[in-house]
Structure 1
């Protein structure tokens, strides 16, 4: 197990990493939440932080079982729980909110990925959904490549070194097998149908120039959620917004949500108050962000 737990106050944040990823992707968020007095828990999905064979041996139901078990552990410690996730982690967070209803008090969705349609994705990606059911397609392996979901060159270089060096517990897998892609498509299709059932207030943060999953993913989700949604559009990041140049914006939005949830309990007020529910996203363009030289993948997790 590579779970990370910071024990704090009665409001907790469960953080879920992405496909082929690791809890380290979210450790900086967890540390900031803990410093603000809350409890933070980064869980490890089944089959992750090991080998590709470990990942291939799992299905999306196994990943979700990891999330539900982690949620139950955190709920036993905390009075209120917000669930957040990066990429696939955000999709699993939405599935949990649809299934567990009012037990989920809020959602923090970082670059949610229903479709791999970012600008760096291969042109033949649409064919993969058919190809993965063929003998050749089942052997397909999507290999991570530049820019590795990170706009900041210094962070990118260090993350790439850890990933390509084979340290899956620190930086995730360098390649995603076709089996895992197929399972992501399956859970994504299910979650798309469930979006109107999700009533928990949600914040979404997504880069306009996301290289892995386009901004369309977040606008689609925000427009169909059954509760209030607040979408922040980042202009100086790529896919891994929790580590990239505007990670401090991600932290600020998350802390604001945690604060609201902690004060108001089961019926939180969102960042911008309104007398009526807002079914569509409140679009925020965040200019510039912090452009200081970035920390490394491991440094960002300290």
Structure 2
């Protein structure tokens, strides 16, 4: 497998007995999670940043994968950490956040951190993907995608410029599954969401918070970050809050 950038590859940082599974989002790469991973590793955690199938290579590879592949990637990463770590914390960005919720619904995850997890999205046309896929194979992301270095850590801004419409159908499936099972989550949860997210409606965070059954749960609201907030201007503050959350008994 040839990755389009070295930061698009999965990463593993060996640390202590507590492990963190990091899951990137739809069309993204582990690069979006690497800064968080490095911060967690400095805090003494063992960190595993996985690469979801169909990502990090070329956009056409997205056509070959399904939601089952992505969920299995997440499960495999969790199981690898569970074999060697006394506790496993799962955190993911966007679709990775959805996968983190599904893991917390189905497995004994110790703590979960869904970041910009899409329960509600702005693009209503996305829900037409099951029909659109018969007429259009790929769709490019809208907008210029440009942002200044003061807004985002651009060295880690690595992902596809578009996506497979067929793959979008599988993302929508994961979103429905995760929302349906929210009440099964009982582990402590830190829900992270930016109020200025251009992709995910901020109400998504409130829906997650309201429906999960965790005794310990909170929302971290970001004020100035875009959707890929893990490389945004509030990333260091987010790192601090996640560290505090993981250390809390």
**In structure 1, distance between residues paired with 2:132 and 2:191:** 36
Trace 1:5-24 onto structure 2 (pairs within 5 A). 5-24=12-31
- Written as runs of structure 1 = structure 2, the 5 A alignment for 1:1-302 is 2-100=9-107, 103-117=108-122, 125-130=123-128, 132-134=130-132, 137-147=135-145, 153-154=148-149, 159=154, 171-227=158-214, 228-260=216-248, 269=249
Deviation at 1:222, TM superposition (A): 0.8
Write the distance in 1 (CA, Å) between the matches of 2:152 and 2:243.
29
CA-atom RMSD in angstroms: 2.1
Query: What's the CA shift for 1:131?
Result: 5.0
Helix, strand or coil: the match of 1:171?
coil
Residues 89-117 of structure 1 show CA distances to partners (whole Å, capped at 9, x for unaligned) of 000010011111xx200011211112331
SS in 1 for 2:231: coil
CA deviation profile, 1:153-205 (whole Å, cap 9, x unmatched): 2266874xx79xxxxxx711110121121111111011111000011111011
Q: Secondary structure of 2:175's partner?
A: helix
2: CA distance, partners of 1:233 / 1:61: 31
Structure 2 alignment gaps of length 5 or more: 2-8
The structure with the largest alpha-carbon Rg is: 1
Deviation at 1:77, TM superposition (A): 1.7
| TM-aligned CA distance change 1:13 to 1:136, over 3 Å | same
Gap regions ≥5 residues in structure 1: 118-124, 164-169, 261-268, 270-302
Partner Cα distance (2:204, 2:95) in 1: 11
Aligned-pair distance for 1:229?
Answer: 1.9
| Partner Cα separation in structure 1 for residue 125 and residue 198 of structure 2 | 19
Classify the secondary structure of the residue corresponding to 2:193: strand
The aligned length equals: 241
8 Å contact from structure 1 (residues 15, 41) kept in 2 = yes
Is the Cα contact below 8 Å between 1:105 and 1:200 reproduced in 2?
A: yes
TM-score, L = length of structure 2: 0.90
Residue 129 of structure 1 and its aligned partner are, at CA, apart by 2.4
Shift of 1:136: 5.4
